[in-house]
Amino acid sequence: MERIEPCLEASLPCETHYVLLIGPPGSGKGTQSAQLCATLRLPHLASGDLLREHVQRGTVLGRKARSHMDRGDLVPDDVVIDMVMDRLGSGDCVSGALFDGFPRTLAQAAALDRALATSGRRVGLVLYIEVPDAVLAERLGGRFLCRACGASYHVVFHPPRRPGLCDCDDGELYQRDDDRPDTLARRLNVYRELTVPLIDYYRRHGVLVTIDGNQPIATVTTQLYAELSRVFSNRTEQRVARR
Ligand code: ADP
Ligand code: ADP
C-alpha cells in the first residue's frame, strides 16, 4: 500500500478541492482515482462509470449513450453535462470532488467552470497524466474491470489477488467491449481532436500539472500526491497567514 503524505489529508477540509484527471484512454485515471479518493475522502466523479451504470440499467440516458460509446465516440455534450452536473449537485460534492474523464471537451470545461462559479468555487488543480500512444494498446488489451465497483486491473501490470475476482468486493472482473484495438484507434483520434485542447485551456488558467504516467503505478501515485500536497497545502498556509 502507498505511503500517504501526512500533511495533505490534514489540509483538505479547509477549502473546496475540485481536482481533474485528464489523460488518454488507458493512462491510469481510474487506477489513480481509486487510490486518491480513498485517501483524501473525495467523491470520485467518473463520467465513464456513470454512463456505464446508465447503460447497464437501460435508462433513457443509457440508451442515448450506448451507440456513441460502442463506436468509441464521445457521448454528446448536453447529455454528459446534465448527468455530471446532477451528480455534482449531490451533498457529498459540496466541498470537493475528483473528476475522472470529465471534462473531455471545451464545452464541458466551460459548463463545469460556470457551475462551480455560481457558488464561488473553481477547479483548483488539473493533473494531466501523459502516456505515449504505444503503451496504451497494451494496457487496454489487458484491462479488466470489476462489475460491482469499477476497480481497474491488468493481467500483467496490476493483477488481482485471485484471478477473475476484485480484491475489494469479490466482484466479477470483465473486459470492456470498447477496449478492442479498432475502437481504441477511434478513441485516440477523438481524444486528440476534442480533449487535448483542454490541456492548453487549463494551462492558461494556471492550474495544469503534467505527470509522467509511463512509470510504475505506485510511482505515479506518489507524484500525484506530491502535486496535490504542494498546491493545496500552499493555499492552506496562505490562508492561515492572512488571518
Ligand atoms: P483510464 O481510466 O485512464 O482509462 P485505467 O486506470 O483503467 O486507465 O488503466 C488502464 C489499464 O492500465 C488498466 O488495466 C490498469 O491496471 C493499467 N495501468 C494503469 N496505470 C498503469 C501504470 N502506471 N503502469 C502499468 N499499467 C497501468
Ligand atoms: P477511458 O477509461 O478509456 O478513458 P471512460 O470510461 O472514461 O474511458 O469512458 C468510456 C466512454 O464513455 C468514452 O469512450 C465515451 O464514449 C464516454 N464518455 C466518458 N466520459 C465522457 C465525457 N466526459 N464526454 C463524452 N463522452 C464520455
Among the four given CATH numbers 3.40.50.11540, 3.40.50.300, 3.40.720.10, 3.30.565.10, the one describing domain 14-133+182-242: 3.40.50.300
Report residue 2's pLDDT band, with 50, 70 and 90 as the boundaries: very low
How many other β-carbons are positioned within 10 Å of the β-carbon of residue 158?
18
Percent of the chain having pLDDT more than 70? 90
Please give the number of the atom of ligand 1 that sits closest to the Cα of 213.
23
Residue 186 annotated as catalytic: no
Cα 87 to Cα 210: distance, rounded to the nearest angstrom: 27
From the list 176, 180, 203, 235, the catalytic residue is: 176
Burial (0-12, 13-18, 19+ Cβ within 10 Å), 104: buried
Please give the number of the atom of ligand 2 that sits closest to the Cα of 100.
7
Report residue 181's pLDDT band, with 50, 70 and 90 as the boundaries: confident
> Quick check: 35 and 221 in contact, CB under 8 A?
yes
pLDDT of residue 235: 52
Find the helix or strand (DSSP H, E) in which 126 lies: strand 125-130
Ligand 2 midpoint to CA 68 (Å): 10
- Mean pLDDT computed over 79-105: 95
Pocket lining: 150 vs ligand 2, CB cutoff 6 Å: no
Pocket probe mutation, ligand 1, options 143, 149, 166, 215, max atoms within 8 Å of Cβ = 143
Residue 180 annotated as catalytic: no
pLDDT of residue 193: 98
Taking all residues of the chain, what is their mean pLDDT, rounded to a whole number? 89
Cα 117 to Cα 25: distance, rounded to the nearest angstrom: 29
- Mean pLDDT computed over 110-135: 95
Has residue 75 got a pLDDT over 90? yes
Q: Whose CA is nearest to atom 9 of ligand 2?
A: 48
- Mean pLDDT computed over 114-123: 94
Question: 29 — phi, psi (to 5°)?
Answer: -60, -45
Residue 63 annotated as catalytic: no
Helices (H), 2-59: 6-11, 29-40, 47-57
